[in-house]
Amino acid sequence: MMKSNKYAKKSSSKKRILLVVLAVALAWTAVLSAGFWFFVVRNIAEEVTVEAGCETVDPNGFRIRQWNIPVEFVTDIEAIDLNMPGDYPVQLLYLDRIYDSVLRIRDTIPPKAELLDVTTLSIRIPEPEEFISQIWDVTQVSVSYETLPDMTQPGEQIVSVLLTDGGGNTSLLEATLTVIFDTSAPIVEGVQNMSIYRGQEPDYLDGVTISDDLDEAPVLTVDDSRVDLTQGGNYQVIYTAMDASGNSVHQTATLTVIVDEEAPAILGVQPISLYAGSTVSYRSGIVVRDNIDESPRLSIDSSGVDLTQPGEYQIVFTATDAAGNSSSVTAPVTVKEKTGRYVEESVILDRADQVLAVIIREEMTDREKVETVFRWVTGNFSYYGASDKTDWMQAAYSIMTTRMGDCFNFYAVTKLLLDRLGIPNITVTRCDNPYRATRHYWSLVSIDGGETYYHVDTTPHSNGNYRFCLVTDEYLDYYDTHIFRGYYARDKSLYPATPIKALE
């Protein structure tokens, strides 16, 4: 019995030793394992702080221990705005393992700025931004007053401008504010009395200027509430100029509304003679002038004319201005039966175009074209004392084929060529006078699209010292009075007056 108990005690003691050894081994294993994981995790910082505005972030800055083992960003660091404060989750690769961390961007540097001194009127408080010339900060900066300026006192004062950036950093800067009190009214110049015709719109601001010593944009208003543009009379117009400070000045002017009772004048109307079957442009050579209306309306009543049947007819021209004034002129239309010498218009026009194709260049001005036509007509035909004046186009063709004719032929071929060139021209006829019993024909020609007219006469003259190409009324009248009495006698009321000054 004693032997057995001894053996049992030894066996129990061994078991306890084994258990202790096992427990110690397990404990060391746990300690070693925990130390290993602790060692790895602690080498990557849970967060890293950088200053806002830095150019780059070094991933190695996340290592806790400075081992020569590189750290790489898994997160696209370029997608993070390094100028914007905040906390940004990032992932990094270290020892083949991805770790989570936080990139903290902080703005700790106060903003800097260059300030300006400001001068302004007392009527407004300048915005605090007006004092800023330039700001240096990586984040958005707001500008405010520490204390609002006192705009009730003229002169200089110091204002404090507070700058606050996106990180909450502040800078307090000082600048000088000069407050000006404006007591001077604007100056208005150019206000004057004016006259218009009934139906016209007055331009109250024509020639009127406004200025102010302090306000760059003073306001000018015109009170024409007393004006009645539908009735003639004198009316008062009040001009008021006001600056931003409320200083104002008034001026008055008188507007005179004149009632237009003068009808337009119809110029260039001539008796029309042509062969049956011919065509005619009744509007060609007709000019309408009005004392007020720059574009009076012209209507032509040719309903009583039958160009296919020989006979005597009448055509009525009526001009009406914007005020409703109108005038009418009647002209006779003589349609004659065709003779055996009649030439179709298409043939005549083709002959004229052949001539122009030779003598006219596209780049010529209208004046150069008229002068070229004048030289060609005066240099290619001879004067012959009689012609058939029934149809001017037939007369033009006659001189182009026979190379001779009288003043009607010279006038006709000139008109034909000018018409084909699209140059406005008016037929002028010498009127009865004590010195000349016969008719003479020439043209008034425009080289500015119908605004002004000058005389052109291609008929040869015995006195070669005078040239009648684009000349004025004065030139013609001098010749008529001093050189060849009554040669250019004409009813001037039927034609537009030429400019006083001759062409240079």
- Asked if the structure places residue 499 within a domain, the reply is no
Is 231 buried (19+), middle (13-18) or exposed (0-12) by CB count in 10 A? exposed
CA distance 242 to 223: 14
- Could you give the angle at the alpha carbon of 274 between the alpha carbons of 273 and 280, nearest 5°? 100
Q: Which of 285, 250, 257, 300 is nearest to 392 (CA)?
A: 285
pLDDT at res. 28: 53
Cβ neighbours of 260 (radius 10 Å): 20
- Asked if the structure places residue 40 within a domain, the reply is no
Res. 25 pLDDT band, cuts 50 70 90 = low
- Asked if the structure places residue 65 within a domain, the reply is yes
pLDDT at res. 27: 53
- Asked if the structure places residue 33 within a domain, the reply is no
Whether residues 293 and 435 fall in one domain: yes
CATH number for the domain harbouring residue 150: 2.60.40.10
Indicate the number of domains in the chain. 4
Residue 318: C-alpha distances to residues 288, 407, 497 (Å): 10, 30, 21
CA distance 184 to 243: 9
Res. 293 pLDDT band, cuts 50 70 90 = confident
- Asked if the structure places residue 195 within a domain, the reply is yes
Instruction: Give percent of the chain with pLDDT exceeding 90.
Output: 80
CA distance 79 to 446: 75
Residues 6+ positions from 464 with CB-CB distance below 8 Å = none
pLDDT at res. 197: 86
Q: Looking at per-residue confidence, does 26 or 208 come out higher?
A: 208
Whether residues 299 and 432 fall in one domain: yes
Q: Specify whether the CB–CB gap between 317 and 328 falls below 8 A.
A: yes
The SS3 call for residue 418 is helix
Q: Which of 486, 469, 465, 466 is nearest to 477 (CA)?
A: 486
CA distance 254 to 344: 63
Question: Can you spell out the DSSP letters for 334-373?
Answer: EEE---TT---HHHHHHHHHHHHHHH--TT--HHHHHHHH
Q: What is the mean pLDDT of the chain?
A: 90
At 347, give phi and psi (nearest 5°): -70, -40
- Asked if the structure places residue 502 within a domain, the reply is no
- For residue 492, what is the DSSP state? G
Res. 181 pLDDT band, cuts 50 70 90 = very high
What is the mean pLDDT of the segment spanning 221-234?
A: 95
- Asked if the structure places residue 14 within a domain, the reply is no
Report the first-to-last Cα separation within the chain, whole angstroms.
162
Does the pLDDT at position 17 exceed 70? no
Q: Between the ranges 5-9, 32-36, 383-387, 478-482, where is the mean pLDDT highest?
A: 478-482
Q: Looking at per-residue confidence, does 36 or 81 come out higher?
A: 81
Whether residues 322 and 284 fall in one domain: yes
Whether residues 405 and 448 fall in one domain: yes
pLDDT at res. 34: 43
Instruction: Name residue 181's amino acid.
Output: F
Task: Quick: pLDDT tens for 403-438.
Answer: 999 999 999 999 999 999 999 999 999 999 999 889
Domain limit, last residue, from 145, 180, 215: 180
Does the pLDDT at position 36 exceed 50? no
The SS3 call for residue 142 is strand
Whether residues 198 and 251 fall in one domain: yes
Domain assignment of residue 93, given as a range: 47-106
Domain limit, last residue, from 128, 147, 180: 180
Question: Where in 83-125 does DSSP place strands (E)?
Answer: 86-94, 97-106, 112-115, 118-121
CA distance 411 to 400: 12
Cα 151 from chain centroid? 42
**Taking the alpha carbons of 307, 312, 316, 317 in that order, is the dihedral positive or negative?**
positive
Q: Between the ranges 13-27, 63-77, 344-358, where is the mean pLDDT highest?
A: 344-358
Whether residues 250 and 271 fall in one domain: no
Whether residues 314 and 195 fall in one domain: no
Res. 464 pLDDT band, cuts 50 70 90 = confident
Task: Quick: pLDDT tens for 432-463.
Answer: 999 988 999 999 999 999 999 999 999 998 77
Whether residues 293 and 436 fall in one domain: yes
Does the pLDDT at position 182 exceed 60? yes
Whether residues 159 and 205 fall in one domain: no
Res. 92 pLDDT band, cuts 50 70 90 = very high
Whether residues 337 and 354 fall in one domain: yes
Task: Quick: pLDDT tens for 124-167.
Answer: 999 999 999 999 999 999 999 999 999 999 999 999 999 999 88
Instruction: Name residue 391's amino acid.
Output: D
Q: Which of 275, 283, 284, 382 is nearest to 334 (CA)?
A: 275
Does the pLDDT at position 492 exceed 80? yes
Whether residues 149 and 215 fall in one domain: no
What is the mean pLDDT of the segment spanning 58-66?
A: 87
Domain limit, last residue, from 229, 258, 287: 258
CA distance 308 to 220: 66
What is the mean pLDDT of the segment spanning 219-239?
A: 95
Q: Among 82-91, 145-154, 166-175, 459-468, which stretch is predicted with the lowest mean pLDDT?
A: 459-468
- Asked if the structure places residue 24 within a domain, the reply is no
Instruction: Give percent of the chain with pLDDT exceeding 70.
Output: 91
Whether residues 322 and 270 fall in one domain: yes
